Amino acid sequence: MPAQINPSILSADFARLADEAKAVHGADWLHVDVMDNHFVPNLTLGVPVVESLARATDTPLDCHLMIEDPDRWAPQYVEAGASSVTFHVEAAAAPVRLAREIRAKGARASMALKPATPIEPYEDLLPELDMLLIMTVEPGFGGQAFLDIMLPKIRRTRELIAKHGLEMWLQVDGGVSASTIEQCADAGADVFVAGSAVYGAEDPAEAVRALRDQARTASEKASWVCGH
Ligand code: DX5
Ligand code: ZN
């Protein structure tokens, strides 16, 4: 799968979300950060806003749930119109059951790992997922510095995906910018969330195109890509 760019609306103007979605026209997905002030020390938006946003844009919604009790809430985000729903494994009581429920409701199921959570205990769960999200900052806020100590985890995850012959996507989120995206692509990521690097740019749509070009060029050269 060629590299995809998912602008995070956390860095957008929340009073003008429909316009901000249009401002990144051409983006592969719109990344929607849901925070509950319990799982992370910040509060953003919930199901009604996702419902409205889904009606206001043709770009599919990639909902990243940084909330407690995703087992209870995640299915509602599918019903609200999200095409991909990511829950944190640290918060899920029954991640396999939850991933199956998300898929059964018709969305892509994705699981996120905070920086201190290793991938290895979850190797057997990978076939249940359409995407794995490796956080490259501590979740909660946009504009933080990229944690390059996560690059080995990205590499090991890509190896596990290849070992099991899976089609799943590998997303990185946090501090992804023109100066860090190539390292992520080289390590094995193929879906890139970018908040401040897109919405902080003068022309957000152009920033998406430039990041995507950079990521695609870097992945073409990367050793993990089939055929190398
Ligand atoms: C952080 C969120 C990210 C955030 C990324 O917890 O999950 O999606 O918006 O913002 P940047 O790209 O500015 O690090
Ligand atoms: Zn996010």
For every one of its 228 residues, what pLDDT tens digit does the chain have, with 9 covering 90 and above? 899 999 999 999 999 999 999 999 999 999 999 999 999 999 999 999 999 999 999 999 999 999 999 999 999 999 999 999 999 999 999 999 999 999 999 999 999 999 999 999 999 999 999 999 999 999 999 999 999 999 999 999 999 999 999 999 999 999 999 999 999 999 999 999 999 999 999 999 999 999 999 999 999 999 888 655
Q: Exposed (0-12), middle (13-18) or buried (19+): which is 172, by Cβ within 10 Å? A: buried
Ligand 1 near 142 CB (within 6 A): yes
Ligand 1 near 7 CB (within 6 A): no
C-alpha of residue 102 to centroid of ligand 1, in Å: 23
Ligand 1 near 188 CB (within 6 A): no
Count of the separate structural domains present in the chain: 1
Q: Please give the number of the atom of ligand 1 that sits closest to the Cα of 135.
A: 7
Q: Which domain holds residue 112?
A: 4-226
Q: Please give the number of the atom of ligand 1 that sits closest to the Cα of 35.
A: 6
C-alpha of residue 210 to centroid of ligand 1, in Å: 18
Which amino acid appears at position 34 of this protein? V
Over the range 16-54, which residues count as b (16 or more CB within 10 Å of their CB) and which as e? ebeebbebbeebbbbbbbbbbeebbeeebbbbebbbebb
Q: Among all residues, which ones are annotated catalytic?
A: 33, 173
List beta partners, residue 113: 134
CATH code assigned at 184: 3.20.20.70
Q: Exposed (0-12), middle (13-18) or buried (19+): which is 116, by Cβ within 10 Å? A: exposed
Residue closest by Cα to atom 10 of ligand 1: 142
Rounded CA-CA distance 191/177 in Å is: 13
Ligand 1 near 8 CB (within 6 A): yes
Q: Does the model's pTM come out above 0.95?
A: yes
Over the range 139-154, which residues count as b (16 or more CB within 10 Å of their CB) and which as e? bbebeeebbeebbebb
Smallest-distance ligand from the CA of 9 = 1
* Residue entry with tokens 């998406």: 208
Secondary structure letter of residue 39 according to DSSP: S
Ligand 1 near 88 CB (within 6 A): no
The number of helices, as runs of H, and strands, as runs of E, in the chain is: 8, 8
Q: Please give the number of the atom of ligand 1 that sits closest to the Cα of 144.
A: 14
Over the range 69-99, which residues count as b (16 or more CB within 10 Å of their CB) and which as e? ebbebbbebbebbbbbbbbbbbbbeebeebb
